Amino acid sequence: MHPTPFLPTGAPGPWPEQTEDVLADVLLGFRRMFRLDFRQDVLEIMGQSARSRGIQADVREDDTARPHVRELLRAIRAFRDPWAALDSLGEALRTLAPHDAALSWLLLTRLVLARGDELPAGELLAVIGELHGLPALTGTSRHVPEGTPGLRNPTGKETLPELLARLVDRRDRDLLGPLAGFLGALGDDPEVTRCGELPALRRFLAAHAERAPASPAAAAAGGERLIVQIRLDEETPEHVDDSRYRLHVAYYRQPLTGGPFRRVGSHGDTASFTRSELIDAGSARLGAWKELKQAVFGSAGPVRIEFLLPRSMLGYAAELWSSGPTGRPLGQYHPVVVRQLERYTDLFTDFRAWRARWEQLGARGADPTEVLGRIGWPSLDPARVAELPGWLAARPTLACLGLDVPYDQLDPEVQYAVDDAMYLDGMPVLLWRRVAGDAGPLVEALREHRPTRLAELPETVHRYRRQVRGRAADPVHTVTLLWDDPDCVDPDQDHVFPGMVR
């Protein structure tokens, strides 16, 4: 650290709009800031400083802490040299409360502002505001990417704001990369994920994850999976019998052990394609994106392809998209699953039941017979559709719903009830053969591949598809796996390209 945290700096320009919101929360984090006499002492020291002489006369006193702090920040912003006045505030607090943990957060905020030409200061300030509100975290130094240049003498005992300040205050051309790597690993930390959603951190990582090197924690977890999400958004149909769809592809990396993921790239098409064109035109677009090919070729871990499809498309044979010049289907090279786009994009989705059932997928069984026996096969008789909510309620650990009638062939009332099983009961996984009939032969065929957990279903279905590839044109042997991982939801996809119909 610098001997004095608030060294003179050149003015990097007006600070971002949300600066004072973050500073107010940080200042109110000082234990004594709620005492009027403490705030008066701060102003007295500032008013005597050469940096902000007389500033106390511009601050209207208030008995309540937050309005008083906001008034102080307004005076700093209006001062003839706001940067000097902000540094004067830091010096006063260092004098009056040198051991208060909030001082490190104030130092970090000032450093981010000072390096605003080299870092996305506004985005980082929003992240700092979220992290400042978390309980004290332990052991965060393990998330610093290995070999980070310019990191001065870390001891492993630094607090979170101290570590962030060291990452921000490095003298290196790549300030953002190691910082994004650290924040990405921090966002995956169970101590952090238990604290709830952190939308500013998620947005920051989605925008800058491609700059991040792998963290030691990710490497220790056994590597990462590349997830390619191919999203088809239905446009207002030009032809009733052949709707048009807009294509968007985003790809992510996720620890093999599961949990939150980070975006590493995305592509979108301005053109739209009819359903009949999708397999050929969509496959051609995948092969045309150089960065996507590099990500797939450069992936040291496994790859999973996820098709985000509207309800009207869930019966689509997505695994038959071509992989490229060989003409082989994607489903023979990598696990291909589908996802329900409406659940993915619904602002008010309740993640609690969804996550609770998802966690059941990791339970190991004594033998493969017992594992696949955990798939639930309810009656899909329209006359019994009212029984499905009670049937699900009696099975709170059920995580995979099997359909012996394909989803797109279900009676409308039954299909609505199956949708409710996803939306309201949190069912994360559905499996069906694309020809109605006894599910027994499919389950027996999957047992041959000896899964030990339902979490292995994407790989199990992939091996099944490779085994029956000579009969792939026979609908009896085709299967759909709906695989909705609640950790792999990127709400920023809803805003990345125009023309999406809601």
Q: What is the pLDDT of residue 157?
A: 77
Spatial distance between the Cα atoms of 242 and 238, rounded to a whole number of angstroms: 8
Q: What is the pLDDT of residue 175?
A: 82
What is the pLDDT averaged over residues 203-228?
Answer: 68
- For residue 278, give both structure tokens: 């999708």
Which helix H or strand E contains 419, and what residues bound it? helix 412-423
**Rounded to 5 degrees, what angle do the CA atoms 388, 393, 395 make?**
100
Spatial distance between the Cα atoms of 49 and 43, rounded to a whole number of angstroms: 10
What is the pLDDT averaged over residues 219-234?
Answer: 78
Express each pLDDT in 75-123 by its tens digit. 999 999 999 999 999 999 999 999 999 999 999 999 999 888 888 989 9
Q: What is the pLDDT of residue 473?
A: 56
What is the pLDDT averaged over residues 452-461?
Answer: 92
Beta carbons of 248 and 308 less than 8 angstroms apart:
no
Q: What is the pLDDT of residue 330?
A: 86
Residue 128's identity, in one-letter code, is I
Please report which confidence band the pLDDT of residue 1 belongs to, taking 50, 70 and 90 as the band edges: very low
Please report which confidence band the pLDDT of residue 152 belongs to, taking 50, 70 and 90 as the band edges: low
Q: Of residues 141 and 343, which shows the higher confidence score?
A: 343
Q: Which residues of 398-436 are buried (b: 16+ CB within 10 A; e: fewer)?
A: bbbbbbbbbbeebeeebbebbbebbbebbbbbbbbbbbe
Express each pLDDT in 6-55 by its tens digit. 433 433 345 887 899 999 999 999 999 999 999 999 999 999 999 999 99
Spatial distance between the Cα atoms of 465 and 457, rounded to a whole number of angstroms: 12
Most confident of 58-67, 253-262, 355-364: 58-67
Is it the case that residue 239 has pLDDT exceeding 60?
no
Spatial distance between the Cα atoms of 9 and 112, rounded to a whole number of angstroms: 12
> 481 - beta bridge partners?
431
Q: What is the pLDDT of residue 2?
A: 36
Express each pLDDT in 359-416 by its tens digit. 899 876 555 567 899 999 999 999 999 999 999 999 999 999 999 999 999 999 999 9
- For residue 57, give both structure tokens: 């006369």
Is it the case that residue 457 has pLDDT exceeding 50?
yes
Helices vs strands, H then E, count in the chain: 21, 8
- For residue 104, give both structure tokens: 């490190």
- For residue 297, give both structure tokens: 């070729």
**Which residues fall within 8 angstroms of residue 495, CB to CB, at 6 or more apart?**
none
